Structure 1
Amino acid sequence: MSSSALLLALLLLPLAGAALVLTLGRTVGDAPAKVAALGTALVELALVAVVWAGYSTTEAANGSRLQMALSADWIPAFGVHFALGLDGIALVLVALVGVLVPVVLLGSWKHGTIEGELPAGSRFAGYFATLLVLETFMMGVFLATDVFLFYVFFEGMLVPMYFLIGRWGGPRRQFAAMKFFLYSLFGGLVMLAALIGLYVESSKILGTGTFDWRELVAVAPQIPHSTQVWLFLGFFLAFAIKAPLVPLHTWLPDAGAEAPIGSAVLLVGVLDKVGTFGFLRYCLPLFPSASRSLAWLVLVMAVLGVLYGALVAVGQTDLKRWVAYTSVAHFGFIALGVFAFTQQSATGAVLYMVNHGVATGLLFLVVGMVIARGGSRRISDYRGMARATPVLAGLFLLAALCALALPGTSSFVSEFLVLLGSYPTQPVYTILATVGIILAALYSLWVYQRVMQGPEGGAGVEAARAKGRLRDVTGLEVTAVAPLVALILLLGFYPKPVLDVITPSVSATLTELGVAPEAVTVPAQGGQR
């Protein structure tokens, strides 16, 4: 199989798997459908591994930005191509998708959703098939190298996630699904207007309009600054909503709280990364002058996100909303790293995207296991669970420590790189953001202590005991979370393989922005902040 065909297979395999799962669910039942869904996700993960092995960091360092490229005419009259390709930034996010989807399917294997049974009348086949359809769009949004095609995948992601929340979510699922859809749709429509404007500007320079990302990057410096500002704002608004940055974040706590745990893992672990990926892939290289002049706006929003998200997380009473607000704080660090415009900070930001997806995935899964036992999302309904569930308590503690970026966990490396790289160019914003580290320790350890430590009790614990559910993790649950635990520890002590993939693409992005990249220094684990 050629390298370009591999990318096409990555895109189409989950869609074909979804059709198979639905067919099996209707004809022979849910059990074979579940096996087909997991098999599809595992084959997809194997393809991701092949693509990773075939990606050349040497070629990337020598200027081969997009590898394994595939392009075919789609709408020739408007210069639209079905074009795929990937650089190191896209590759690590594609790998994140490949890892999280089978983890979510395994975690949802017994009951359909990790925290409990599917709603009445629902079938495993429909839920699992929708997850696979979502995987297709997630792959497409990172692989697209035609900006119009990217927009199609960007908007297309909304549909399966809308149904995952609205059909299989919690008590307020319809409200949360509609709020998520409207926020994202509005941002996408504004981006579409900016995309049309970019097409018109390219036609003025080239004589004919184009949506090809490489051609647009080449002509970007010739676009007038005033025009760049408006086009930048159009793209930025869509990405800031998706990220989400404060004050455009309000859809996330509702969607994260009402989505099934598995869908919440993909929502916060992957879909939100499309926003920060968009900053790097589209905002910076396509609008370099505007990116530099408006960086202060993004930095203000980033620091507000770090502090506001952390403070609100401290006061949460709902376990799932707590995880959602911790993510708002973490996305502030990622945006800070991107718009500090240094090699270290931007590399740390991309690594943060990966590590946040893994860490938040584990945190959501553990929270789902707690809810599955006690039947409640309220933090106050749980006390002293560690006595009966020591392994679950250990997993909860590891996820909490990774959320606060303890040395030895994967989050430490990325957070350290962001702060170390941001300080030389943005010392004030960096110092303000470091307050978030203290608050992270507070919101992470306090919730862990309230749920797992102290005397055993609470309505959730009593309900779990009465129903015979007050037990430690099962073998299936351990299997589901084991890959995430391994990645947290492995990337915490040896992030070099991922950094080697990321660094050349970050350097190319900064060069397109007009910033000279500097060398990256990787922090030694076990050191002080």
Structure 2
Amino acid sequence: MNATFPVLTTMAIVPLAGALLLWLVPPLRRQGRVIGLLFALATLGVGIWTLAVFDASQAGAIQLTETHSWIPMLGVSWALGVNGLGLAMLLLTAFLVPLVLLASWGEIPADQQGLFSGLVLVLEAFVVVIFAARDVFLFYICFEAMLVPVYFLIGRFGGERRRRAALKFLLYSLAGGLIMLVGVVALYVYGPRGEGAYLVENLVGQITASTTAGRWIFASFFIAFAIKAPMVPVHTWLPDTAEQATPGTSVLLIGVLDKIGTYGMAALVLPLFPRESAWAAPVILVLAVVGIIYGGLAAVAQDNLYRLISYTSISHFGFMVLGLFVGSQIAATGAMVYMVAHGLSIAGLYLVTGFLARRTGTVAISELGGMQRVMPLIAGTFLISGLASIALPGLSGFVPEWMVLTGTFSKSVPLGVVAVLGVIIAAVYVLLPYQRVFTGAPARERVGSADLDGREKLVLVPVIAAMLAVGLAPAPLTDAFEDVAGQVAAAVEAPGETAALATVPTAPADPAVAVVIAEGNTK
């Protein structure tokens, strides 16, 4: 349905307005933490409003659409709209940003809170547009623009080698963006052109490129999203960045921004290039399972908790890509639920590790031990988040991982067997560090260290509650993703039926029209 009120644009404007307020009124920066939190909560409120007006019965269709001509000469539009997947990613972003800002009160100096909060709010505004963009050019502009606040979040705040890590992140991301730019230009050359030339619904089935050219265009988008995801072998920027960034920045970077990679594959690559996706799927699936195993083994070998968590994410992204490209609706649904579940578990792991680091002054596993006796709440939160990440039944990671594995086995037993090995490795990279860090007798200098305070509990309790909600009641997510996953799986499984299977439906505004369409589809 079309939006009677531009709710998605509003959701992008609210955090941007907060950032502009902090920038244009310097005295307010002294209250940066409060102002940032208020605008982040307001954005969450708009997100809840968006959920309330979204028609869950048509979650596979693009809804709340807004389309306005922006650059007519190039056919570029300000076009927003969301299906079930896009809405879930918007809500995940809006949920995590206030928690990150609240957690940062203990890690960012008061005189820097205005800058930190402003950068986070600008980043949130760009991310909202990315997850709601229906115009490929608009998507690309925000995909590139978000690098600016992320670069400063990493390079200005964090560890001693933060500037080097920020530069590495920027170089990898810019390389991916420049490669994507080639594809964006090619879409105009081989697309329908005219008004709305970059609208996804106008491009689907209308790209006239030859087989070779189509594969190169596909590669330009896929490589950019593989870097962002991150997939092996273009993953090496992530551990260095996560080690040096603040825990809150890492939550946004891995829990939200890296999902743009897998989201882009589902929302752009597969609908626009179904034949090319089916052609490349065997290689992509091999890279996905390599990432699952490599990420897990690399995590086991780490002594730094931040690097360990980043490598576990590389393994988890392998599961997501596997689910998207294996050609199974169940697996694709699981991959989409995985995107949400991973965002929650990674938030728990990074934030509680940050709280631990503030008290101990280290994240080196070899320098810690016995923390459970000193900080039982920190130990318990780390364990719950870790168990969620390795798919313990009842927590957020179980259902998506089970669905990805089930769908994978239905298509390829060898791929499924290798993926299961990744599950076994996961138990090692979570339980072994927990044993080394939290069990045993604490060192003398650790005795008397404070456990979680009230603010930190306020940060972590919603995250744990969300893990339990997704784990115990996943139906709202699986139902919201089912139709979208069907379109994704069909694009890989039956590339010859591009126009019918890979289309991006838009929910009709009039219910009577929907009935007519439904009746026509059954004939």
Q: TM above 0.5, one fold?
A: yes
Q: CA deviation at 1:235?
A: 0.4
Partner of 1:160: 149
Work out whether residues 200 and 209 of structure 1, in 8 Å CA contact, stay in contact via their aligned partners in 2: no
Work out whether residues 285 and 513 of structure 1, in 8 Å CA contact, stay in contact via their aligned partners in 2: no
Partner of 1:388: 374
Rounded to whole Å, the distance in 2 between the matches of 1:59 and 1:483 is 28
For the pair 1:508 / 2:487, whether they are aligned, the reply is yes
Q: Name the CA shift for 1:219/1:400 in 2 (closer, same or farther; >3 Å).
A: same
Q: CA deviation at 1:514?
A: 6.0
Rounded to whole Å, the distance in 2 between the matches of 1:374 and 1:60 is 46
AA partner of residue 472 (structure 1): D
Rounded to whole Å, the distance in 1 between the matches of 2:43 and 2:483 is 26
Rounded to whole Å, the distance in 1 between the matches of 2:158 and 2:89 is 26
Partner of 1:494: 473
Partner of 2:252: 266
Provide Cα deviations, 1:356-376, integer angstroms capped at 9, x if missing partner. Answer: 000000000011011010111
Rounded to whole Å, the distance in 2 between the matches of 1:133 and 1:96 is 16
1:34-433 counterparts in 2 under 5 A? Answer: 34-60=33-59, 65-112=61-108, 117=109, 123-203=112-192, 210-220=197-207, 223-433=209-419
- Secondary structure (helix, strand or coil) at the match of 1:108 reads helix
Provide Cα deviations, 1:477-510, integer angstroms capped at 9, x if missing partner. Answer: 0001111100111111101112221112222334
- Secondary structure (helix, strand or coil) at the match of 2:410 reads coil
Rounded to whole Å, the distance in 2 between the matches of 1:340 and 1:428 is 12
- Secondary structure (helix, strand or coil) at the match of 1:82 reads strand
Q: CA deviation at 1:53?
A: 1.6
Q: CA deviation at 1:238?
A: 0.2
AA partner of residue 40 (structure 1): F
Q: CA deviation at 1:208?
A: 7.9
| Larger CA deviation: 370-379 vs 356-365 | 370-379
Work out whether residues 392 and 473 of structure 1, in 8 Å CA contact, stay in contact via their aligned partners in 2: yes
Work out whether residues 230 and 314 of structure 2, in 8 Å CA contact, stay in contact via their aligned partners in 1: yes
Work out whether residues 327 and 490 of structure 2, in 8 Å CA contact, stay in contact via their aligned partners in 1: no
Q: Name the CA shift for 1:313/1:389 in 2 (closer, same or farther; >3 Å).
A: same
Q: Name the CA shift for 1:98/1:208 in 2 (closer, same or farther; >3 Å).
A: closer
- Secondary structure (helix, strand or coil) at the match of 1:69 reads strand
Rounded to whole Å, the distance in 1 between the matches of 2:131 and 2:161 is 31
Partner of 1:9: 10
Rounded to whole Å, the distance in 1 between the matches of 2:163 and 2:29 is 28
Work out whether residues 384 and 455 of structure 1, in 8 Å CA contact, stay in contact via their aligned partners in 2: yes
Rounded to whole Å, the distance in 2 between the matches of 1:3 and 1:183 is 40
Q: CA deviation at 1:402?
A: 1.0
Rounded to whole Å, the distance in 2 between the matches of 1:148 and 1:503 is 27
AA partner of residue 294 (structure 1): A
Work out whether residues 3 and 51 of structure 1, in 8 Å CA contact, stay in contact via their aligned partners in 2: no
Rounded to whole Å, the distance in 2 between the matches of 1:371 and 1:189 is 37
Q: Name the CA shift for 1:224/1:21 in 2 (closer, same or farther; >3 Å).
A: same
Q: CA deviation at 1:431?
A: 1.0
Q: CA deviation at 1:198?
A: 1.6
Q: Any gaps of 5 or more consecutive residues in structure 2?
A: 502-523
AA partner of residue 484 (structure 1): V
Q: CA deviation at 1:59?
A: 2.9
Q: CA deviation at 1:381?
A: 1.3
Rounded to whole Å, the distance in 2 between the matches of 1:505 and 1:163 is 35
Q: Name the CA shift for 1:154/1:28 in 2 (closer, same or farther; >3 Å).
A: closer
Q: Name the CA shift for 1:251/1:56 in 2 (closer, same or farther; >3 Å).
A: same
Provide Cα deviations, 1:440-472, integer angstroms capped at 9, x if missing partner. Answer: 000100111111101112xxx72x55xx6x111
- Secondary structure (helix, strand or coil) at the match of 2:70 reads strand
Rounded to whole Å, the distance in 2 between the matches of 1:286 and 1:334 is 19
TM-score normalised to structure 2 length? 0.91
- Secondary structure (helix, strand or coil) at the match of 1:109 reads helix
Work out whether residues 21 and 34 of structure 1, in 8 Å CA contact, stay in contact via their aligned partners in 2: no
Work out whether residues 4 and 69 of structure 1, in 8 Å CA contact, stay in contact via their aligned partners in 2: no
Q: CA deviation at 1:209?
A: 8.3
Rounded to whole Å, the distance in 1 between the matches of 2:211 and 2:482 is 28
Percent of aligned positions with the same letter in both sequences? 42
- Secondary structure (helix, strand or coil) at the match of 2:204 reads helix
Partner of 1:520: none
AA partner of residue 42 (structure 2): V
- Secondary structure (helix, strand or coil) at the match of 1:81 reads strand
Work out whether residues 155 and 165 of structure 2, in 8 Å CA contact, stay in contact via their aligned partners in 1: yes
Rounded to whole Å, the distance in 2 between the matches of 1:322 and 1:54 is 40
Rounded to whole Å, the distance in 1 between the matches of 2:28 and 2:81 is 38
Rounded to whole Å, the distance in 2 between the matches of 1:266 and 1:287 is 29
TM-score normalised to structure 1 length? 0.90
Partner of 1:448: 434
Q: CA deviation at 1:28?
A: 4.8
AA partner of residue 39 (structure 2): T
Equivalent pairs counted in the alignment come to 495
RMSD: 1.8
Rounded to whole Å, the distance in 2 between the matches of 1:5 and 1:359 is 32
AA partner of residue 436 (structure 1): G
- Secondary structure (helix, strand or coil) at the match of 2:69 reads strand
Q: CA deviation at 1:42?
A: 0.7
Rounded to whole Å, the distance in 2 between the matches of 1:291 and 1:29 is 48
Q: Name the CA shift for 1:89/1:433 in 2 (closer, same or farther; >3 Å).
A: same
Provide Cα deviations, 1:309-345, integer angstroms capped at 9, x if missing partner. Answer: 0001001011111110010000000000000111100
AA partner of residue 151 (structure 2): Y
Match of 2:457 among 471, 478, 484: 478
Work out whether residues 349 and 385 of structure 2, in 8 Å CA contact, stay in contact via their aligned partners in 1: yes
Rounded to whole Å, the distance in 2 between the matches of 1:60 and 1:88 is 5
